[in-house]
Amino acid sequence: MNISIKSIILLLFYIINISNSVLDETNGLDGVLLCQANCNSDDRLFGPIKPPDTRTHPWKVAQFPSTTTAFCKLGCQYFFSYYSNNNTCINQCKYQYRYQATTGYSDSAELAKLECLDGCNIALSICQAGYYCVNGNMTVCPAGKYRESVSDLSLITLEKVHTCINCPYGRYRALDKGRSANDCSKCPVGKYANVTGSVKESDCQRCPAGKFADEEGSRYCKCITTE
């Protein structure tokens, strides 16, 4: 399986166009761009991995490291666009760059597959806003919680993708997939919420007699004065 320059150009064109359409609809554009940028980095989160030389086959076609990161970027694309589970992303990469035993080992296809798998693993590390990623899966943040998109690939930032954050005091969220604290609705005037992670408006409590919450999103009620 030889990969031509024309095929690479078409693949890059596909990635760019899908990034501007499908990813906008799934709120995954920020994540995929960060993932694809890491594919180009000398300090990748994963890879590049050289295929094991399991057969008598000289490296005459494929160059390692690869001269293009398009296959790694396609792995990012698969994860954020269609396969929000690392196992399905991995399986798609393996299927895309499969080769038949009857045609012999292809170093080009093997290298493309491993690059694609790197993209899946980089994407999983970044995760997608409104989800949390752990144990190879991207799972929706439930009601009452949210998770923002990551802005960098520092260790501290990447550790935050494993959990969702409770909606703050004075707020609630009835829907899943919250992407920021602003996605959590504020308790109305006259009510408050002194707990985090509220999931419905009825979790906002009425202020007791003699006190009042004069702002939306209050954590406490203020004493009513005669001044």
pLDDT in tens, 99-157: 655 556 677 788 888 999 999 999 989 988 899 988 878 889 999 999 998 888 888 88
Distance (Å, whole) CA 214 – CA 227: 15
Least confident of 4-8, 52-56, 179-183: 4-8
Residue pair 123/32 in contact by the 8 Å Cβ criterion? yes
Residue pair 112/3 in contact by the 8 Å Cβ criterion? yes
Ordered DSSP codes for 129-164: TTEEEETTEEEE--TTEE-PPPSS--HHHHHGGGS-
pLDDT band at 174 (very low <50, low <70, confident <90, very high): very high
Q: Which residues partner with 212 through β-bridges?
A: 222
CA 175 to chain centre: 19
Structure tokens at 129: 């806003």
Domain boundaries, given as residue ranges, for the chain: 5-126
Query: What share of the chain in percent tops pLDDT 70?
Result: 77
pLDDT in tens, 86-103: 678 888 888 888 765 555
Tell me how far CA of residue 8 lies from CA of 11, 13, 119, in angstroms.
5, 9, 16
Question: Is pLDDT at 85 greater than 80 in this prediction?
Answer: no
Question: Is pLDDT at 188 greater than 60 in this prediction?
Answer: yes
The pLDDT value recorded for residue 100 is 56
| Strand 145-146 versus strand 137-140 pairing type | unpaired
More confident call, 167 vs 51: 167
Omega before 52 cis (within 30°)? Answer: no
pLDDT band at 66 (very low <50, low <70, confident <90, very high): confident
Q: Which residues partner with 132 through β-bridges?
A: 139
pLDDT band at 20 (very low <50, low <70, confident <90, very high): very low
Amino acid at 184: C
More confident call, 105 vs 5: 105
Distance (Å, whole) CA 55 – CA 104: 9
CA 217 to chain centre: 29
Distance (Å, whole) CA 138 – CA 45: 18
Residue pair 28/81 in contact by the 8 Å Cβ criterion? yes
Q: Residues 164-180, buried b or exposed e (16+ Cβ, 10 A)?
A: bbbbbbbbbbeebbbbe
